[in-house]
């Protein structure tokens, strides 16, 4: 190796040493400056159902302030532990996810995604709670009440087992179907959970309009069961009255079984028919 090549290599190494040293100096200076900078403001954003916020900006501000010694504006950036604050927010049963970051103006952005209830459940002891799409339990809110399908008869237990988790999945399936259908969302008053033995349960639907109970069986083929019931509603309206059958059973494939009973009164029968016709008409117009 000649002298010129050796000199070139030395100069090349020295150049990168200088560049590396400069970058480290700038980085250290930037970190030092960042430590001295303070939060200038904050922006809180809530994602969820815009008509039904179960947590508001005051709730979020209170939680964030509690983790920053009572102040946000004027707090050193290094004094706001982002991960800690996110975990604190996500401990709230109504918050699914929380994200915090600073923009280039030192404004703290706080974005919260709410859990959205899909069903309200009443236990056999009379206690009640909501569940979300992940079957996570949530307490009631003192701000608003969610308009979701109501389930009664859930076993009262301190701890859940696999059976309870499977039951929750069935509740989620039925609640999702009811909410997605305009007619049934208006017609379903509540759904009762009925035990049929060890690790076995069925569902019975109580309608808003009509003096009858609908036996749905388990959560399998729920769409087909409600379709059969919808057709039966249409057919019975043109015959002898909507309250002719106090019990309708749609749990068996391809069947709708009705248990007959005397009509309560002609006036009741006519009024029930009118009410259900109104629901059917509204459903058809929406669809």
Instruction: Provide the b/e sequence for 233-243 (b: ≥16 CB within 10 Å).
Output: beebbeeebbb
State the pLDDT at residue 278.
57
57-66 and 82-90 helices, crossing angle to 10°: 130
pLDDT in tens, the chain (287 residues): 566 667 667 666 666 766 766 666 555 545 555 556 888 999 999 988 766 678 888 889 998 888 877 788 888 888 888 899 999 999 988 999 999 999 989 999 999 999 989 999 999 888 999 999 888 888 888 777 888 999 999 988 767 777 778 899 999 999 999 999 999 999 898 999 998 887 789 999 999 887 888 999 999 999 999 999 998 888 876 666 666 778 889 998 888 887 775 444 443 444 545 555 555 555 455 44
Contact, 207 vs 175, CB < 8 A?
no
Q: Longest C-alpha distance within the chain, in Å?
A: 115
State the pLDDT at residue 264.
42
Contact, 174 vs 121, CB < 8 A?
no
Strand partners for 275? none
The Cα 130–Cα 172 span in angstroms is: 11
The Cα 228–Cα 186 span in angstroms is: 17
222-237 and 162-180 helices, crossing angle to 10°: 50
The Cα 257–Cα 181 span in angstroms is: 23
State the pLDDT at residue 100.
93
Q: What are the residues whose beta carbons fall under 8 Å from the beta carbon of 195, sequence distance 6 or more?
A: 201
Strand partners for 203? 193, 217
């Amino acid at each position: 190796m000649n002298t010129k090549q050796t000199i070139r290599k030395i100069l090349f190494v020295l150049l990168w040493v200088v560049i590396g040293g400069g970058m480290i100096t700038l980085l250290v200076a930037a970190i030092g400056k960042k430590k001295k900078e303070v939060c200038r403001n904050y922006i809180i954003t809530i994602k969820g159902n815009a008509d039904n916020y179960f947590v508001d900006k005051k709730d979020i501000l209170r939680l964030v302030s509690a983790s920053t010694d009572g102040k946000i504006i004027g707090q050193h950036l290094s004094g706001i532990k982002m991960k800690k604050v996110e975990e604190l927010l996500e401990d709230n049963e109504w918050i699914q996810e929380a994200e915090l970051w600073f923009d280039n103006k030192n404004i703290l952005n706080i974005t919260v995604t709410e859990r959205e209830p899909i069903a309200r459940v009443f236990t056999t002891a009379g206690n009640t709670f909501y569940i979300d799409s992940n079957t996570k339990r949530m307490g009631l809110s003192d701000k608003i009440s969610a308009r979701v399908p109501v389930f009664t008869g859930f076993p009262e237990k301190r701890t859940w087992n696999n059976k309870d988790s499977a039951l929750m999945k069935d509740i989620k399936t039925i609640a999702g179907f009811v909410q997605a259908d305009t007619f049934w969302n208006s017609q379903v008053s509540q759904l009762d959970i009925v035990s049929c033995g060890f690790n076995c349960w069925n569902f019975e639907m109580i309608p808003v309009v009509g003096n009858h109970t609908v036996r749905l069986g388990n959560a399998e083929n729920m769409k087909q069961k409600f379709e059969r019931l919808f057709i039966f509603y249409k057919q019975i309206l043109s015959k002898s009255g909507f309250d002719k059958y106090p019990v309708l059973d749609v749990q068996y494939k391809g069947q709708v079984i009705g248990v007959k009973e005397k009509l309560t009164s002609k006036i009741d029968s006519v009024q029930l028919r009118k009410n259900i016709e109104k629901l059917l008409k509204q459903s058809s117009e929406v669809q």
